[in-house]
Amino acid sequence: MAGPSTYEPKGAVMRWMDTRLPIVRMGADFMTFPTPRNLNYWWTFGGILLLCLMIQIVTGVILGMHYVAHIDHAFDSVQRIRRDVPYGWLMQSAHAVGASMFFLAVYMHMFRALYYGSYKAPREVLWIIGCLIYLVMMATAFLGYTLPWGQMSFWGATVITGFFGAVPVVGEGLQQWLLGGYAVDNATLNRFYSLHYLLPFIIAALSGLHVWALHVTGSSNPIGVSSKVKTDTLPFHPYFTVKDMFAVTVFLIIFAFFLFYLPDALGHADNYIKADPLKTPPHIVPEWYFLPFYAILRAVPDKLAGILLMLGAIAVLFVLPWLDTSRVRSMRFRPIARWFFFFFVIFCFILGWCGAGVPDDYAIKIGDGGITFYRLGQISTLYYFAYFIVILPILGLIEDPVERPASITQAILDYGDKPEPEKVLVPAE
């Protein structure tokens, strides 16, 4: 797909450089990279995520200049950043809101891949690297949330590290090794800070691999038919650079709205209370982006089983390319799968809702009884796993996809240049 490089160095200096470190060639090949011309806005989240990572690293390095990783000073140092450091309030809010925006974008990116079958051959490795990035992102976010040393920081760290204590036989030793003590304490805070500083650079490296893999296979596209002829693609620059820039700007408007007008809406009030190892907040919930997994964790009453189920919810993503048996990539041409996908998205939101709720409270009230968050979480968990393990494998074998265009060029001739037909989510029959 990527094809041979068309870059021709101009002048003696460029030729000299090109035979030693062809970095200009690499840049030029990026710019001319043939990109399916029918990509829609769902394909702009790659660029948006790159920006998110940059924002987090830049603001994070800056916060590191002012933050003090010690249990006696961490909370106060964050307050000092917000009050006394020039533009510290901006840096701290941008980093905290930025974490949420990063996850918002990554979820959009992932749902896009799920709908359009971007994980299928030949992009399995590309998808697995993406799953790895997501995993490291979760670790980074968790470690970072500990650093302000508020009540949610402390108790979140206590609960999450408690997962490791559930491992049979070695659990307690493992947990205490991780904490560097009997409980979350100064040793924990220090190592979490160190690791929180390290992991984003691993994300950056993995992102490099992700883009490399992308440039080997080329982008997938909304109709899922591989690019075949020259007219199927356009050079990345300027067509998609300008489109990405526009999308990034729209994304930044949402970002700025939260940053400047609702900086605390995505956090927890309890984290403005300094960590107190003697007092647990009445209602511990993780950040919103972990809520679906939190609901899955609580869906079974057994500690170890809950943890395994939660890990399974992530692990299943890694093997997804081999679970989905359909030979059609895009759900646009899969009339039944489309509905199952639609419900999958709904259930992911419901899982998030359940994760935020108190398990024994009624999510849906019917008369005196109703469906508790606990029960609703179980149902949603069941669907989550069924979608990957049962529905996709079976559906691929029995479903009759609707007729697909022969090529991207043909699709555009049929539909016009609108990247998405209007009948999304409506079965073709």
Partner 1 sequence: MAFKTVRNFLIAGGVAAASLTGIAIAAGGSGPADGYEMIHKHWHWQGMTGTYDKEAMQRGFNVYANVCRSCHNLDHLAFRHLGDEGGPFYDERFPNPNDNPLVKNIAAEYEITDLNPEDGSEITRPGIPADYFPPIYRNDSEARFVNNGALPPDLSVMVKARNNGADYMYNLLLAYEHPQPDTVSLSPGQYYNPVMEGSKIAMPPQLQPQEGVFEYQSDTEGQNPPEATVEQMAADLTEFLAWSADPKLAERKSAGLMSMVYLLILAVLLWLAYKRIWRRLKQPVGG
Partner 2 sequence: MAEIGLIHHDDIVEDDGKRDFIFLLAGAAGAVGAASIVWPLVAQMGKAADTLALGSIEIDIGQIAEGEQLKVLWRGAPVFVRHRTAAEIAEAESVNLADLPDPATDADRLVPGPDGALKPEYLVQVGVCTHFGCVPVGEAGDYDGWYCPCHGSHYDTSGRIRKGPAPRNLDVPPYEYLSDTVIKVG
Residue 418 within binding range of partner 1, rule CB under 8 A: yes
Contact partners, residue 404, CB within 8 Å, separation at least 6: 223, 224, 225, 328, 330, 333
- Residue 215 known to be catalytic: yes
Residue 410 within binding range of partner 2, rule CB under 8 A: yes
Cα–Cα distance for residue pair 336/187, rounded to 1 Å? 53
Cα–Cα distance for residue pair 206/204, rounded to 1 Å? 5
**Cis before 86 (ω within 30):** no
Residue 318 in tokens: 């890694």
Burial of 369 (0-12, 13-18, 19+ CB in 10 A): exposed
Strand partners, 369: 366
Choose the contact partner of 262 out of partner 1, partner 2, none; CB within 5 to 8 A by kind: partner 1
Choose the contact partner of 58 out of partner 1, partner 2, none; CB within 5 to 8 A by kind: partner 2
Single out the catalytic residue among 120, 196, 243, 268.
Answer: 243
- Residue 268 known to be catalytic: no
Single out the catalytic residue among 18, 232, 244, 270.
Answer: 244
In this complex, which beta carbon is closest to partner 2, that of residue 86 or of residue 369? 86
Cα–Cα distance for residue pair 415/232, rounded to 1 Å? 14
Residue 382 within binding range of partner 2, rule CB under 8 A: no
- Residue 230 known to be catalytic: no
Kindly identify the residues of this chain, within the stretch 310-369, that bind partner 1 according to CB under 8 A.
Answer: 349, 352-353, 356-357
Find the shortest distance in angstroms from Cβ 90 to partner 1: 7
The length of the chain, given as a count of residues: 429
Kindly identify the residues of this chain, within the stretch 278-297, that bind partner 1 according to CB under 8 A.
Answer: 282-283, 285, 288, 291
In this complex, which beta carbon is closest to partner 1, that of residue 121 or of residue 425? 425
Kindly identify the residues of this chain, within the stretch 44-103, that bind partner 2 according to CB under 8 A.
Answer: 58, 62, 65-66, 80, 83-88, 90-91
Cα–Cα distance for residue pair 350/344, rounded to 1 Å? 10
Beta strand pairing status for 362-366 and 34-36?
A: unpaired
Output the CA–CA distances (angstroms, integers) from residue 314 to 103, 134, 135, 138, 307, in the order listed. Answer: 15, 9, 8, 11, 11
Cα–Cα distance for residue pair 137/206, rounded to 1 Å? 11
Find the shortest distance in angstroms from Cβ 266 to partner 1: 5
Choose the contact partner of 26 out of partner 1, partner 2, none; CB within 5 to 8 A by kind: none
Single out the catalytic residue among 66, 70, 215, 274.
Answer: 215
The 3-state DSSP class for residue 34 equals: strand
Contact partners, residue 80, CB within 8 Å, separation at least 6: 66, 88
Cα–Cα distance for residue pair 55/107, rounded to 1 Å? 18
**What is the pattern of x (binds partner 1, CB under 8 A) and - over residues 100-139?**
x---x--xx-------------------------------
Contact 75, 151 (CB under 8 A): no
In this complex, which beta carbon is closest to partner 2, that of residue 234 or of residue 337? 234
Alpha helices in 218-319, H assignment, sequence order: 236-261, 291-297, 303-318
Task: Give 155-188 as a DSSP string.
Answer: HHHHHHHHHHHTSTTTHHHHHHHHHTSSSS-HHH
In this complex, which beta carbon is closest to partner 2, that of residue 253 or of residue 366? 253
Among 65, 121, 205, 265, binds partner 1 (CB under 8 A): 265
Among 89, 318, 343, 362, binds partner 1 (CB under 8 A): 89
Choose the contact partner of 53 out of partner 2, partner 1, none; CB within 5 to 8 A by kind: none
Catalytic residue positions, numbered? 215, 219, 243-244, 287
Residues at the site binding partner 2, with contacts judged by CB under 8 A: 37, 58, 62, 65-66, 80, 83-88, 90-91, 229-231, 234-235, 245, 409-410, 412-413
Residues at the site binding partner 1, with contacts judged by CB under 8 A: 37, 40-42, 76, 79-80, 82-83, 89-90, 93, 100, 104, 107-108, 234, 238-239, 242-243, 245-247, 249-254, 256-270, 272-274, 282-283, 285, 288, 291, 349, 352-353, 356-357, 412-420, 422
